[in-house]
Amino acid sequence: MDAGEGLLVRRIREGTVIDHVEPGKSFVILKVLGFLDEPGERRISVVVNAESRKMGRKDIVKIEGYFIGEEEEGIVAVVSPRATVNIVRSGRVVEKRRVRPPRRVIGIISCPNPTCISRKEREPVEPVMLLVDEEGPVYRCGYCGTLVRASDVPRLIRV
Amino acid sequence: MLVETGNSSPSHLFTPDLLTGVTCRVAVPVPGLEAFRGRDVISILDFTRSDLESLFEAADSVDKLTSQAPLKGKIVALAFFEPSTRTRLSFESAVKRLGGDTLVVSGEDAISVAKGENLADTVRMLDSYSDAIVIRHRYEGVALYAAEIAESPVVNGGDGRQHHPTQAMLDLYTIRTLKGGVDGLVVGVLGDLRYGRAASSFILGLTRFKPAKVYLISPPPLRVREEVLMQLDKTGLGYEEVEDYRGVLPELDVLYVTRIQRERIPDPGEYERIKGSYRVTLRDLHGRAKPGLKILHPLPRVDEISFDVDNSPYQAYFIQARLGVRVRMALLAGILG
Ligand SMILES: [Zn+2]
């Protein structure tokens, strides 16, 4: 984490810090992870447009009392491919990893093609996105083949 | 029925069917077509070169199949939720020549079925009444979806703008029949490469062979979709996108022409701007085309090929339509035999 960031939001003792989030994507991430709708007992803090040596600007998401799982990390990667995940225990970062886009994403990103079977009403079908290019990342709809890029994802998130 | 075939059919989509094991088929696979038995036909990319070559060999000797009536006692459902005459009749003829029977859902039936219940339930019904389902629908991905639901094999008869694998099979078979093979040929694909499923499937089918070069010829708004280009790039097929067929005409061994898919173009104004933007005429061909050039078209045509080409040695589209029945016979015999 960059120096000086502690001035904006205090350090957490136990939980997850999602760092190097593309500016403006922090709320998309929280939405996809379901924390906007159901924060539960968790204390969540968000910094939008923090200064970053690497990225110029970045967002930071801190979730106290919650350790993000592998599947959730994949979702973060789809929304913000350069993000890093820090696991904090007893006030120390015990693990730091770069997120990786999952090979397939089921049910979270809807297909942008209005005549895709996954968009048809009254059909018991979940959208399926298959990873075709890890850099980007770029996904392909498993049903109709339409390509979906990271920049398309925020508007395609299913709620 | 869904057989895992590379990346086109994700394994998690497999739906275990409660009825598995109830039906018991003891038919003997058709020699040379063992690889096709029980298979879904969703995309031309589900098939390897060797699959296609064995299919074409079987299509060559299809008369032998007719006498064996490998589909005797079998019912093939032809579910055409999008208007179609040619493809449906071609399948119907193929099934009947093989001794099988058809259950046709099309026109008014298809509309009322589509209104009354969802597709998943319709597919379940067809699955219980038949041994294989051929399905056409204006939504992309319907055939894959049906294959996840049905226990019986599903054949894609065209899903929206996406795939039309049996058309690609017969297109490649026609080229093989008339030119001795696909390898080494210079192939032009002209027309609506964006919304036309026959064109996309044909182009993807070419990647299973080694043509010398493929020209993708279209007005700019009808260029090949990026996901198709991405797949071409992966295979290393040598292709070039151009706008006018006359510039490359002298190089071509095969010219595949398609009509503009008016019904799939989202903006009607767009269609008005591009309609009639290309047309193959005998005058253009005369003195510039190779003498052995063969012109294919999945039909029906609008005005992309002028009638004066019909009686020229370049015309191969009527031959192509006729050969379609053979290829579909071989395919169905392979799947259900
Ligand atoms: Zn789709």
Q: How far is A128 from chain B (nearest CA, A)?
A: 9
Per-residue pLDDT of chain B (337 residues; tens, 9 = 90+): 655 444 444 433 333 333 343 444 445 678 889 999 999 999 999 999 999 999 999 999 999 889 999 999 999 999 999 988 899 999 999 999 999 999 999 876 777 776 778 899 999 999 999 999 999 999 999 999 999 999 999 999 999 999 999 999 999 999 999 999 999 999 999 999 999 999 999 999 999 999 999 999 999 999 999 999 999 999 999 999 999 999 999 999 999 999 999 989 988 899 999 999 999 999 999 999 999 999 999 999 999 999 999 999 999 999 999 999 999 999 999 999 8
CB contact under 8 A, A140 and B227: yes
Question: At a CB cut-off of 8 Å and minimum separation 6, what does B240 contact?
Answer: B213, B214, B215, B216
CB contact B140 to A (< 8 Å): yes
Q: Which residues contact A151 (CB under 8 A, 6 or more apart)?
A: none
User: Is B11's Cβ below 8 Å from some Cβ in A?
Assistant: no
User: Which pLDDT does position B115 carry in this prediction?
Assistant: 74
Return the pLDDT at B1.
61
* A145: nearest CB among B138, B142, B227: B227
Q: What are phi and psi of A119, to 5 degrees?
A: -100, -5
> Residues with Cβ within 5 Å of ion ligand 1?
A 111, 113, 116, 141, 143-144, 146
**Same fold yes or no, B38-163 and B165-322:** yes
Hey, is the C-beta of B15 within 8 angstroms of any chain A C-beta?
Answer: no
Q: Rounded to the nearest whole angstrom, what is the distance from the C-alpha of residue B318 to the centroid of ligand 1? A: 34
Rg (CA), chain B: 20
The closest alpha carbon to B202, from B226, B230, B180, B224, belongs to B224
Say what the pLDDT of residue B33 is: 93
Q: In what order do the strands lie in the sheet with B132-137?
A: B101-106, B75-80, B132-137, B154-159
Tokens of A94: 């015990």
* Distance of CA B51 from the midpoint of ligand 1 (Å): 27
Read off the amino acid at residue B205: G
Distance CA A138, CA A153 (A): 10
In this predicted structure, what is the pLDDT of residue A9?
Answer: 64
Residues of chain A found within 8 Å of residue B142, distances taken between Cβ atoms: 117
* pTM, full prediction: 0.89
CB contact under 8 A, B139 and A146: no
Question: Quick one: which of A85, A76, A26, A15 has its CA closest to A50?
Answer: A26
d(CA B171, CA B317): 9
CA of B5 vs chain A CAs: smallest distance (Å): 13
Cβ–Cβ contact A112 with B under 8 A: no
Q: Please determine, for the modelled complex, whether the ipTM score is greater than 0.85.
A: yes
pLDDT of B337 reads: 86
- The pLDDT, as a whole number, for residue B29 is 76
- Give the minimum alpha-carbon distance from B233 to chain A in angstroms, rounded to a whole number: 12
Give chain A positions within 8 Å (CB) of B13: 128, 142
Residue B195, SS3? Answer: coil
Q: Considering only CA atoms, which of A69, A49, A71, A66 is closest in space to residue A2?
A: A49
Which residues of chain B are within 8 Å of residue A128 when distances are taken between CB atoms? 10, 12-13
Size of interface A-B (CB pairs under 8 A): 63
Residue B296's DSSP bridge partners are B256
In this complex, the residue of B7, B161, B230 whose CB is nearest that of residue A130 is B7
Q: Does A152 touch chain B (CB under 8 A)?
A: no
- Summarised one tens digit per residue, pLDDT across range A100-154 is 999 999 998 999 999 999 999 999 999 999 999 988 899 999 999 999 998 898 8
Chain B residues close to A149, C-beta within 8 Å: none
From the CA of B156, how many Å to the nearest CA of chain A? 13
**B115 in contact with chain A, both atoms CB, cutoff 8 A:** no
More confident residue, B318 or A34: B318
Instruction: Give the gap in angstroms from C-alpha B272 to the nearest C-alpha of chain A.
Output: 22
Question: Is CATH 1.10.15.40 what the domain over B38-163 is classified as, yes or no?
Answer: no
User: CB of B209 within 8 A of CB of B235?
Assistant: no
Identify the CATH number of the domain defined by range B165-322: 3.40.50.1370
Beta B132-137 vs B75-80: how paired, if at all?
Answer: parallel
Q: Are A143 and B144 within 8 A, CB to CB? A: yes
The distance of A70 to chain B (nearest Cα, Å) reads 18
d(CA B179, CA B183): 10
B162 interfacial to chain A (CB closer than 8 Å):
yes
A106:B120 CB<8 A = no
When pLDDT is cut at 50, 70 and 90, the band that residue A11 belongs to is confident
In chain B, where the domains are located: 38-163, 165-322
* Cα gap B14→B288, rounded to integer Å: 52
H or E element: which one contains A26? helix A26-32
The CA distances from residue B135 to B105, B127, B143, B151, B163, in Å, are: 9, 12, 6, 14, 12
B100 near B334, Cβ under 8 Å?
no
Nearest CB to A115; choose among B138, B144, B230: B138
A90 touches chain B (CB under 8 A): no
Q: How far is the CA of A119 from the centre of ligand 1 (A)?
A: 7
> Cβ contacts of residue A136 below 8 Å, gap of 6+?
A81, A149, A150
Task: Work out the number of other CB atoms within 10 angstroms of the CB of residue A108.
Answer: 20
Q: Residue A116's closest chain B neighbor by CA?
A: B140
Question: What pLDDT is recorded for position B10?
Answer: 40
Q: Is the dihedral of CA B49, B53, B56, B62 positive or negative?
A: negative
User: Does the CB of B38 have a partner CB in chain A at under 8 Å?
Assistant: no
The answer on pLDDT for A35 being more than 90 is no
